[in-house]
């Protein structure tokens, strides 16, 4: 029970910040391209309550933490009305990419903060270990969320980025994959194949962390 509580406590800040930044970025870029739907629905906000999906943001992450996994999930999808875009293809691509890109940026920033913590903060500081755990968890969660959403299966962001360049007939055929997306994702997670996809990027994040340390040394 103590391990579970610790795992939840060190993961919640990074997880909430990751999903909130992800959805805020979708809303922000959509607004910049001319669609104010998300803003009118209160989604152009960094307030977690504006984005919470009870299954994806609360129940599933807690279940994963309980069974010893990384906290992972989703927030409410940001509503987008493409009729507000001047250049629909370009806008859809960047609005879709904005979420994963925000997580990549956050992961890089967290890597830098983690390196600063390790380099400049005395190890006998009483919050040293909790901060290290929180930042490490935040880095990993943001990387996982970014790479997972870039997988080109509907309705993930990667599929929308690709669909922005498809003609109507190809798009209709591509959207039929939605029927198989959930089973495919379950298989990827159950077999551990998803780890092989995301693992190299976690290693890249660790490498960036060590690079920052070497620069600061």
pLDDT in tens, 101-113: 999 999 999 999 9
Q: What is the DSSP letter of 53?
A: -
Tokens read off for 196? 């092989």
CB 194 within 8 A of CB 188: yes
Tokens read off for 131? 């901060």
Q: Single out the catalytic residue among 14, 17, 21, 23.
A: 23
CA geometry: angle at 208 spanning 205 and 214, to 5°? 150
- Residue 175, Cα to own-chain centre: how many angstroms? 23
Number of domains in the chain: 1
- Residue 23 designated active-site: yes
Range of the domain at 29: 2-216
Mean pLDDT of all residues in 165-187: 83
pLDDT in tens, 89-99: 999 999 999 99
Mean pLDDT of all residues in 194-201: 91
Tokens read off for 24? 């805020």
Q: How confident is the model at residue 186 (pLDDT cuts 50, 70, 90)?
A: confident
Higher per-residue confidence, 126 vs 1:
126
- The answer on pLDDT for 171 being more than 90 is no
pLDDT at 140: 96
CB 37 within 8 A of CB 28: no
E strand or H helix that includes residue 148: helix 128-149
Q: What is the DSSP letter of 49?
A: G
Place of tokens 């055929």: 173
Mean pLDDT of the chain: 92
CA dist., res. 131 & res. 124, Å (int):
12
CA geometry: angle at 68 spanning 17 and 130, to 5°? 50
Mean pLDDT of all residues in 8-34: 95
Helices 193-216 and 88-120: crossing angle, nearest 10°? 50
Q: How confident is the model at residue 1 (pLDDT cuts 50, 70, 90)?
A: low
- The answer on pLDDT for 189 being more than 80 is no
* Integer CA distances (angstroms), 6 to 3, 9, 38, in order: 5, 5, 35
CA dist., res. 98 & res. 73, Å (int):
18
Task: Say whether 165 sits in a helix, a strand or coil.
Answer: coil
CA dist., res. 213 & res. 118, Å (int):
8
CA dist., res. 147 & res. 93, Å (int):
16
Mean pLDDT of all residues in 179-197: 82
pLDDT at 59: 92
């Amino acid at each position: 029970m103590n391990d579970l509580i610790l795992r939840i406590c060190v993961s919640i800040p990074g997880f909430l910040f990751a999903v909130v930044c992800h959805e805020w970025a979708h809303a922000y870029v959509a607004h910049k391209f001319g669609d104010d739907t998300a803003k009118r629905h209160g989604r152009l906000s960094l307030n977690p309550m504006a984005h919470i999906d009870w299954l994806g943001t609360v129940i599933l992450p807690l279940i994963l933490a309980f069974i010893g996994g990384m906290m992972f999930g989703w927030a409410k999808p940001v509503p987008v009305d493409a009729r507000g875009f001047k250049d629909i293809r370009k806008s859809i691509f960047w609005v879709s990419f904005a979420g994963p890109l925000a997580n990549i940026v956050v992961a890089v920033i967290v890597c830098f903060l983690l390196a600063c913590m390790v380099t400049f903060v005395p190890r006998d500081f009483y919050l040293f270990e909790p901060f290290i755990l929180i930042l490490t968890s935040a880095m990993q969660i943001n990387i996982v969320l970014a790479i997972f959403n870039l997988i080109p299966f509907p309705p993930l962001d990667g599929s929308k980025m690709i669909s922005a360049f498809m003609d109507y007939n190809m798009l209709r055929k591509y959207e039929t994959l939605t029927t198989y997306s959930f089973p495919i994702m379950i298989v990827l997670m159950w077999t551990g194949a998803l780890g092989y996809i995301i693992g190299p990027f976690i290693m890249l994040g660790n490498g960036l962390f060590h690079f920052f340390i070497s620069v600061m040394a």
